């Protein structure tokens, strides 16, 4: 007898709805590589949610890693959900249809637990929309006994207080181990008939877990354990110590529709030793851990075989800082991205030095797209303040080397609104860009000068928790426009 796969009561109401909305494949599920489990083999159901639309959330590596981690546990089934687009939200509210999972179209309110990652501050209102669409009380204190327990995780949970009223528990740090541990605890305690409030309290026993209901604001404004609570006054982040030895291949789903970053992603390195003072990720993911060359190459081969992707991105905070990156790229070019294979290897960022350009050449082969470099600030004074260890000469040398190797398009990333920034520093961005463009002109033949392109991107600095700049203010929109005008003028 064949085991029955979960069947949702929502299928009959979702199907006609999909004819009335744009890009209905956002809500279909059933993609290539999706995990399904027989109903009689599952005693705990979890849904992982990205707080934005499918095309933005589907390529997110954290969602893939965490779903795989939960699905690896016997008896547990992890599904996915995303924030619907505005047209779908309107239709769902009109017809009182609750937000549902992709795999089985099960209402989120019927899961044992759900996890909503917090990737950035602009997702906060999306998170509230998701909880409300799920027909679960937005306030954690008002949730009912049979409501799912809501976990939070991701970069912004390093400052969880803005969302403390809405989550039952935050898993701080890397979740490969803590999320399965939390799910196991919820499953075991529910089987014992333990009340929901006690389950939430007990979650604080898991290292790296912050349960807001067990804390209060102290006399001096700090967050302290409530009187009588036995929770730790300090919650330390979780670090996945086994990262380097873990398999670099993470089974992934191939979507039916176009999404951002639609390619195979293989994480080769976690952490960053650079120490830029504005960078939260560099602080969060310490210490640096590298996967081996064999592990990475085998993961790329397996990923291409199982997904059919023709572009592979070697991901990390600073891919070219891997101590064996040259060997990794050489082997991939020799064993995977061979001439005529149609396979392309890419790296998301290059170091601002000649080595970074050389690694970009190994990646590009005979194809020269755009080269992206991130000096971050326009003056050496400002780069020293933010601990961006890049000199103007290193940048100019990198541009010159890139021209010699055949690049004709470059992009430079900067920030404005950094602490202690002056108008001279902002104007320095334009002046540095002009110097870079002059180097480009000086190092190509006259016939190639018309093909040159230099793009400048200047993002507004956002102070992040647990960085040296966490208490610095952010400039307002009017000031941001003023500084942007300084660059343009």
How many Cβ atoms sit within 10 Å of the Cβ of residue 13? 15
Residue-wise pLDDT for 375-404, tens only, equals 999 999 999 999 999 999 999 999 999 999
DSSP of 15-84: HHHGGGSS-GGGGT---BT----BGGG-SEEEEEEESS-HHHHTT-HHHHHHHHHHHTSTTEEEEEEEPP
Regarding whether 18 and 65 lie in a shared domain, the answer is yes
Residue pair 439/403 in contact (Cβ under 8 Å)? The answer is yes
Q: What is the pLDDT of residue 7?
A: 65
Regarding whether 261 and 168 lie in a shared domain, the answer is no
Helix (H, G, I), strand (E, B) or coil at 484: helix
Q: Which of 194, 225, 256 is the last residue of a domain?
A: 225
Regarding whether 245 and 114 lie in a shared domain, the answer is no
Q: What is the pLDDT of residue 366?
A: 54
Q: Is the pLDDT of residue 464 over 50?
A: yes
Q: Average of pLDDT values for 109-127?
A: 97
Tokens of 311: 């572009």
Using a pLDDT cut of 90, give the percent of the chain over it.
85
Residue with the two structure tokens 């120490």: 275
Q: What is the pLDDT of residue 1?
A: 38
In a domain, 235, yes or no: no
Q: What is the pLDDT of residue 362?
A: 81
Residue-wise pLDDT for 130-184, tens only, equals 999 999 999 999 999 999 999 999 999 999 999 999 999 999 999 999 999 999 9
Regarding whether 36 and 107 lie in a shared domain, the answer is yes
Q: What is the pLDDT of residue 4?
A: 60
**What are the two backbone dihedrals, phi and then psi, of residue 215, each rounded to the nearest 5 degrees?**
-130, 165
Residue-wise pLDDT for 212-262, tens only, equals 999 999 988 899 999 989 999 999 999 999 999 999 999 999 999 999 999
Q: Average of pLDDT values for 406-421?
A: 95
Neighbouring residues of 298: CB distance < 8 A, sequence distance ≥ 6: 248, 249
Residue pair 451/443 in contact (Cβ under 8 Å)? The answer is no
Which pTM was predicted? 0.93
Using a pLDDT cut of 70, give the percent of the chain over it.
97
Residue pair 115/46 in contact (Cβ under 8 Å)? The answer is yes
Packed helices 392-404 and 423-442: angle between N→C axes, nearest 10 degrees: 30
Counts for the chain of helices (H) and strands (E), in that order: 15, 16
Q: What is the pLDDT of residue 48?
A: 99
DSSP of 168-207: SEEE-B-HHHHHHHHHHHHHHHHHTT--HHHHHHHGGGST
The domain tally of the chain equals 3
Q: What is the pLDDT of residue 354?
A: 64
Q: What is the pLDDT of residue 10?
A: 78
Residue 335: pLDDT band with limits 50, 70, 90? very high
Q: What is the pLDDT of residue 360?
A: 79
In a domain, 233, yes or no: no
**What are the two backbone dihedrals, phi and then psi, of residue 46, each rounded to the nearest 5 degrees?**
-130, 140
Which CATH number goes with the domain that contains 411? 3.30.750.200
Regarding whether 445 and 478 lie in a shared domain, the answer is yes
Distance between CA 34 and CA 32 in Å, rounded?
A: 6
In a domain, 27, yes or no: yes
Residue 2: pLDDT band with limits 50, 70, 90? very low
Regarding whether 436 and 398 lie in a shared domain, the answer is yes
Alpha carbon distances (Å) from 296 to 177, 271, 319? 21, 16, 12
> What is the Cα 336 distance to its own chain's centre?
26
Find, among 217, 215, 309, the residue nearest to 261 by Cα.
309
Q: Is the pLDDT of residue 411 over 90?
A: yes
Distance between CA 168 and CA 150 in Å, rounded?
A: 5
Regarding whether 271 and 203 lie in a shared domain, the answer is no
Residue pair 30/64 in contact (Cβ under 8 Å)? The answer is no
Regarding whether 149 and 46 lie in a shared domain, the answer is yes
Q: Is the pLDDT of residue 356 over 80?
A: no
Residue-wise pLDDT for 91-116, tens only, equals 999 999 999 999 999 999 999 999 99
Distance between CA 435 and CA 438 in Å, rounded?
A: 5
Q: Average of pLDDT values for 53-63?
A: 97
Regarding whether 249 and 187 lie in a shared domain, the answer is no
Regarding whether 54 and 165 lie in a shared domain, the answer is yes
Which CATH number goes with the domain that contains 284? 3.30.750.210
User: To the nearest whole number, what is the mean pLDDT of the chain?
Assistant: 94
How many Cβ atoms sit within 10 Å of the Cβ of residue 259? 17
Packed helices 293-307 and 325-335: angle between N→C axes, nearest 10 degrees: 40
In a domain, 99, yes or no: yes
Residue-wise pLDDT for 255-270, tens only, equals 999 999 999 999 999 9
Residue-wise pLDDT for 414-440, tens only, equals 999 999 999 999 999 999 999 999 999
Exposure string (b/e) for 388-402, b if CB count within 10 Å is 16 or more?
bebebebbebbbbbb
Q: Average of pLDDT values for 65-86?
A: 98
Regarding whether 210 and 109 lie in a shared domain, the answer is yes
Regarding whether 422 and 330 lie in a shared domain, the answer is no
Q: Which of 225, 253, 286 is the last residue of a domain?
A: 225
Q: Is the pLDDT of residue 365 over 70?
A: no
Q: Is the pLDDT of residue 21 over 50?
A: yes
Q: Domain of residue 333: give its range.
A: 241-349
In a domain, 392, yes or no: yes
Residue pair 254/71 in contact (Cβ under 8 Å)? The answer is no
In a domain, 356, yes or no: no
Q: Which of 167, 196, 225 is the last residue of a domain?
A: 225
Which CATH number goes with the domain that contains 100? 3.40.50.280
Q: Is the pLDDT of residue 300 over 90?
A: yes
């Amino acid at each position: 007898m064949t085991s029955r796969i979960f069947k949702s009561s929502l299928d009959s109401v979702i199907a006609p709805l999909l004819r009335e909305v744009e890009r209905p494949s956002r809500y279909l599920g059933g993609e290539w590589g999706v995990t399904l489990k027989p109903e009689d083999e599952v005693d705990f159901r979890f849904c992982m949610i990205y707080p934005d639309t499918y095309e933005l959330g589907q390529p997110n590596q954290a969602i893939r890693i965490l779903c795989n981690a939960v699905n690896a546990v016997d008896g547990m089934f992890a599904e996915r959900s995303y924030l619907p687009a505005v047209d779908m939200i309107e239709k769902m509210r009109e017809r009182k249809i609750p937000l549902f999972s992709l795999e089985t179209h099960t209402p989120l309110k019927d899961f044992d637990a759900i996890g909503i990652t917090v990737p950035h501050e602009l997702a906060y209102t999306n998170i509230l929309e998701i909880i409300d669409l799920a027909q679960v009380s937005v306030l954690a204190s008002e949730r009912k006994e049979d409501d799912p327990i809501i976990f939070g995780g991701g970069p912004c949970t390093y400052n969880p207080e803005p969302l403390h009223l809405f989550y039952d528990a935050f898993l701080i740090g890397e979740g490969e181990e803590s999320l399965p541990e939390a799910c196991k605890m919820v499953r075991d305690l529910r089987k014992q008939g333990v009340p929901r409030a006690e389950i939430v309290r007990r979650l604080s026993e898991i290292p790296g877990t912050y349960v807001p209901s067990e804390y209060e604001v102290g006399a001096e404004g700090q967050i302290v354990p409530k009187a009588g609570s036995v929770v730790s006054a300090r919650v330390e982040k979780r670090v996945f110590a086994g990262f380097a030895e873990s398999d670099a291949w993470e089974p992934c789903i191939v979507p039916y529709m176009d999404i951002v970053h639609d390619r195979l992603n293989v994480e080769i390195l976690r952490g960053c030793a650079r120490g830029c003072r504005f960078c939260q990720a560099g602080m969060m993911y310490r210490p640096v851990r590298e996967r081996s060359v064999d592990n990475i190459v085998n993961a790329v081969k397996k990923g291409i075989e199982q997904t059919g992707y023709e572009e592979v991105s070697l991901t990390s905070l600073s891919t070219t800082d891997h101590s064996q990156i040259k060997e990794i790229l050489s082997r991939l070019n020799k064993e995977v991205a061979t001439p005529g294979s149609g396979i392309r290897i890419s790296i998301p960022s290059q170091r601002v030095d000649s080595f970074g350009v050389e690694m970009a050449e190994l990646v590009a082969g005979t194809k020269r797209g755009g080269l992206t470099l991130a000096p971050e600030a326009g003056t050496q004074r400002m780069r020293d303040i933010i601990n961006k260890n890049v000199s103007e000469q290193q940048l100019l040398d990198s541009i010159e080397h890139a021209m010699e190797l055949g690049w004709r398009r470059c992009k430079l990333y900067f920030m404005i609104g950094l602490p202690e920034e002056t108008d001279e520093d902002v104007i320095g961005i334009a002046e540095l860009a002009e110097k870079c463009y002059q180097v480009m002109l000086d190092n190509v033949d006259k016939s190639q000068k018309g093909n040159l392109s230099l793009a400048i991107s200047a993002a507004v600095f956002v102070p992040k928790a647990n960085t040296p700049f966490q208490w610095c203010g952010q400039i307002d929109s009017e000031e941001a426009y003023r500084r942007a005008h300084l660059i343009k003028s």
